[in-house]
Structure 1
Amino acid sequence: MNTTTFSNIAIVSCGTMSLEINALKSEGFLDTEHLYFTPPGLHQDIVQLEKHLVQQIDKAKKTTEKVIVVYGGKFCYVNADNPTRMMKDIINEQGSNVARVDATHCMGMLASDEEMHNIAQELAGGEPVWWMTPGWVKFRHQVFKGWDKGLANENFPRHTGGAIVLDGVGYMDQYMEEDPEGFLEYCDWMGIPMQAYNISLERFKGLLIEQLKKIKKQ
């Protein structure tokens, strides 16, 4: 449908979401040639995050007038040196033709808070869960750059419900089949079990369409 075409829209995304973005391109939903990715894991270095994000947006603007940014909000950009500066400020500075999907983090792009609550009840009996997307598995060494076993022990074991990967691209089945030892080593490093929960990408599509409609009115 013409109303949902992204052909004249550029997508600038955190590399952590590249699996989902490329899946939507492969199925024809994201019918654009203008895809730009920042390196995964930059939420740990917000100076580099802002630098790479603005660079990629500037590149995108040279190919299209309108840009949709696939980045979370308050959980992806936490500026300890300037606490009042937020992701929305970076996006607003890029102009009215740049919009960002309405989500606080990448997990929220794939499932709502209610859906994650229900999944946690189903798989973890309501215990605290460490949520991930497939990108957190594939790009582990970038997402958790600088984390040693001690830091892992401080963060993961408190999530007594284990780790749940919201998988809308079938990545985890392939990963566990092709590299079972790597999967087990990952779980051992975290000190908690990891399991996949298969989802659709319908919520993600909806968030993209929402910004598409807004930006086309500009």
Structure 2
Amino acid sequence: MARKISFADYSIVACGTMIPELNVLKETGFLDTQILYTAPGLHQDPNELERQLSKQLEKAKKLTKKIIVVYGGKYCYINMRDSYRTIDAIIEEMREDGYYIARTEVENCLDMVASVEHRAELAEGKKIWFCTPGWLKYRDQVFKGWDKANANENFPQYTGGAMMLDPIDFFDAYAMEHVEEILDFSDWSSLPLEARSVGLERLQNVLIDAMAEDDRKRL
């Protein structure tokens, strides 16, 4: 029998947009560890993202010697003033002897739950705006500072509508209590929003892949 996967030797620092999915993994016992979050939607404020990420990494280093950073590498942090300063550069500055710090090897939160190929299959050739549960649940933070003009500038290109990649059966339950929010989002973005179940297997594998090599070998 294969050994049960354990993250007990790790702490996790994650973008708050991933709270819904990571909470489910914690509740079901897959993640037997502490999770520290930065606020959702900080991709729009790189200075604040850097401040919060560094702060949470300092806290995590007091908890464990191994840390997994649940952030994408390409789109989550873009420093317009210094293109060479990436999220990996921030993480590298936080490393010190005796610590293992790894980032999830994905581009963004969409990639956490569905690969590029999977998203292409779901799109069926249409130009789709994809999101995850956190984009709707934390809409005010994710789209902080946006008005209808911003929406009109960004969303019309997605002629195939909007699709939530839903690995936790979030959409139907949320719609029961917050249908007005969903209708308001669709009105604001001028995109009909639907959800597709994608499961949690990809996110689980992304987290496992971020573990230290010796831990993966023992699985």
CA RMSD, aligned part only? 1.4
Look up the SS of the partner of 1:56 in the other structure. Answer: helix
Q: Which runs of 5+ in 2 are unaligned?
A: none
Mapping for residues 124-139 of structure 1, pairs under 5 Å: 126-139=125-138
1:42 aligns with 2:42: yes
How far off its partner does 1:56 sit? 0.4
Amino acid paired to 1:46:
P
* Equivalences for residues 10-159 of structure 1 within 5 A: 10-32=11-33, 34-95=34-95, 97-121=100-124, 126-159=125-158
Summarize deviations over 1:13-72 as a string: whole Å, max 9, x none.
00000111110011110011x110000000000000000001001001101111000001
Which amino acid is the alignment partner of residue 54 of structure 1?
A: S
Match of 2:8 in 1: 7
Q: Distance in 1 between matches of 2:171 and 2:165?
A: 9
1:116-157 residue CA offsets vs partner (Å, 9 max, x unmatched): 000001xxxx22111100000000000000000000000011
**What's the CA shift for 1:180?**
1.5
Q: Which amino acid aligns with 1:29?
A: F
Structure 2 distance, partners of 1:3, 1:11, is 18
Counterpart residue number, 1:211: 210
Q: Cα offset for 1:170?
A: 1.3
Note closer, same or farther for the CA distance 1:59–1:71 as it changes in structure 2 (3 Å cut).
same
C-alpha displacement of 1:175: 1.4
Report deviation, 1:215: 7.3
Paired residue type of 2:87: M
The separation in 2 between residues aligned to 1:214 and 1:179, in whole angstroms, is 43
Task: Indicate the SS of the match to 1:4.
Answer: coil
Separation of aligned partners in 2, 1:194 and 1:187: 6
Distance apart, 1:3 and its partner CA: 6.4
Q: Confirm or deny: 8 A CA contact 2:133 2:165 kept in the other structure.
A: yes
Residues 10-19 or 172-181, more deviating: 172-181
Displacement of 1:214: 3.1
Work out whether 1:186 is the aligned partner of 2:185. yes
Displacement of 1:212 in angstroms is: 1.2
Greater displacement, 180-189 / 91-100: 91-100
Equivalent position amino acid for 2:82 in 1: N
Q: Secondary structure at the match of 1:16?
A: helix
Q: In 1, Cα distance between the equivalents of 2:175 and 2:14?
A: 26
Q: TM-score, normalised by structure 2?
A: 0.93
